[in-house]
Amino acid sequence: MVARFSPDVRVNVGVVGATGLVGSMMRQLLAERNFPVGTLRLFASARSAGSQVEWNGQQITIEDASTADYAGLDIVFFSAGGSTSKALAPKVAAAGAIVIDNSSAWRSDPEVPLVVSEVNPHALANLPKGIVANPNCTTMAAMPVLKPLHEAAGLKRLIVATYQAVSGGGMEGIDVLARQQEAVTDRARELAFHGDGEFVPAPEKWAVPIANNIVPLNYVLGEDGYTEEELKLRDESRKILEIPGLPVSGTCVRVPVFTGHGLSINAEFERDIDVQTALGLLVRAPGVVVSDVPNALEATGADPVFVGRVRPDRTVDHGLALFVVGDNLRKGAALNAIQIGEVLCGR
């Protein structure tokens, strides 16, 4: 049994990290999608506690997540960073709620299912810790596309290069790009009038400036010189698609785009799959739209992921090359979490 709540009852919902980018999107989607909310409680750090936000015509006071009493809640969405989830999710689950966590804290725990709502909702049948993990925003975009191709032809190896938006780094990512873009634009205007010289903004948040640039070192280095983001792509793809040991080589790159993660994917399969067959499967795949030129602006604000540029990859016996884009805040984070909640509510 995957559903935990009857479709005709209302559930008491919490959002931890409710003032952040993803938390705000969660609030919006709960209202937009008519999630069966009984009461909604919102939590953030002590900095925001006591402030009020409007939701569905009500004023809700933000509570301090670290001192709140979570009794009476049925489903609590978390998007407040890994350390907050690590510390608080077990406490909230022990108080009786199912936690749906957007951070990386629980994704590799064998007792925590890692779920994409269209791809492996069956994994929700077993919740030994009362916690469900929501995948990384980059991995997420690829899963609804790769799942039907894997079922048809058996995925054997993945090579992925990403083009990731700054909002994947929260409000801070947006602020850094906006500030640097403004500085670069002002300086370009000055140079047009006054002559020579390059202008390079100081790096903030990422190793090198993000405005007018691309950043091929996305956060922290891990195993074999791969970044943590690249290792998440490997490990999370294996867990969600249920292909232990799937070889995955990722190159995760931050680009000066506010929202919408792009992925250039080369997928090798066990068996032959031609472009027409792949497109036929993708047109019917839930949560997927086939597009001539999938791009970040098209994906922004949209629920599905967009896939296109599907070509044979003739560097291997049975291969496809394709391009995928998804809204990293919607399907990549808040939307999938809410959809997991909907599955638990029998919707």
Q: Which residue's CB is nearer to ligand A2P, number 81 or number 90?
A: 81
User: Does 340 interact with ligand A2P (rule: CB under 6 A)?
Assistant: no
Q: Cβ 267 to ligand A2P, closest distance in Å?
A: 31
User: Does 209 interact with ligand A2P (rule: CB under 6 A)?
Assistant: no
User: Does 296 interact with ligand A2P (rule: CB under 6 A)?
Assistant: no
**Which positions are annotated as active-site residues?**
137, 261
Beta bridge partners of 14: 41, 76
User: Does 178 interact with ligand A2P (rule: CB under 6 A)?
Assistant: no
User: Does 170 interact with ligand A2P (rule: CB under 6 A)?
Assistant: yes
Q: Which residue's CB is nearer to ligand A2P, number 80 or number 98?
A: 80
Total interface residues for ligand A2P by CB under 6 A: 18
Q: Which residue's CB is nearer to ligand A2P, number 47 or number 284?
A: 47
Binding segment for ligand A2P (CB under 6 A), chosen from 166-174, 207-215, 232-240, 278-286, is 166-174
Name which of residues 19 to 78 contact ligand A2P (CB under 6 A). Answer: 19-21, 23, 44-45, 47-48, 65-66
Q: Which residue's CB is nearer to ligand A2P, number 84 or number 180?
A: 84
User: Does 81 interact with ligand A2P (rule: CB under 6 A)?
Assistant: yes
Q: Give residues in contact with ligand A2P (CB under 6 A).
A: 17-21, 23, 44-45, 47-48, 65-66, 80-81, 84, 170-172
